[in-house]
Amino acid sequence: MGSVQGTCPKCGAQVREKCNAWVYGSPIRTCPKCKNEFLDKRWREVAIDGFAVGPKSAKLYLGATIGFLLFTIICILWLRNMISTQGSYPTKLVGCIVVGTVGTAGCAVMFLRIITGYEDKQNARYMAESKRRLQDQNYVDKLISFGYTVPDEFKY
């Protein structure tokens, strides 16, 4: 889970919304303060824009997991070596270990989500929601009026 933060173009209010990691959802957002609708292109209308990550990218995440893991191990060994030989270590090295650990965990989770089919299920849900929105003529017209490119198959 993540969130997107932005500014309402109508009233200037700070808008913070929860979203999934790839920001799937309607690009037409409603300002919680002034209730005006505005276009936020960071959101992906998946029936139009497609998914950010292909279902076949499991290998990529496995590779990234191994890469981050090796990087983390090398940094830890280096850190141990620095402590035993010099009694001190650069803080940057600790930062590298933190980044490596977070990267390893993040990629491993993504890998598991893909191979267990969890990601496909989530994607199917987002696709169904997106298609449902696009069946609404008013919604499609609104997207177009906001300058969003809508393929002909969704126009009526």
User: Can you give the binding site for Zn ion, defined by CB under 5 A?
Assistant: 8, 10-11, 13, 31, 33-34
Question: Burial level of 5, CB count in 10 A (0-12/13-18/19+)?
Answer: exposed
- Rounded least distance, CB 104 to Zn ion, Å: 40
CA separation for the pair 64, 43 (Å, rounded) = 26
- Rounded least distance, CB 9 to Zn ion, Å: 8
CA distances from 84 to 34, 78, 79, 87, 88 (A): 60, 10, 9, 6, 8
- Rounded least distance, CB 150 to Zn ion, Å: 24
Evaluated on CA atoms 33, 37, 40, 46, the torsion sign reads: positive
Q: Which is nearer to Zn ion, 34 or 98 (CB)?
A: 34
Q: Is residue 45 within 8 Å of 134, Cβ to Cβ?
A: yes
Q: Is residue 95 within 8 Å of 13, Cβ to Cβ?
A: no
Q: Which is nearer to Zn ion, 15 or 64 (CB)?
A: 15
Q: Looking at the chain, how many residues does it have? A: 156
Q: Which is nearer to Zn ion, 10 or 132 (CB)?
A: 10
- Rounded least distance, CB 32 to Zn ion, Å: 8
- Rounded least distance, CB 95 to Zn ion, Å: 38
Q: Which is nearer to Zn ion, 11 or 74 (CB)?
A: 11
CA separation for the pair 83, 81 (Å, rounded) = 5
Q: Which is nearer to Zn ion, 8 or 47 (CB)?
A: 8
CA separation for the pair 4, 18 (Å, rounded) = 7
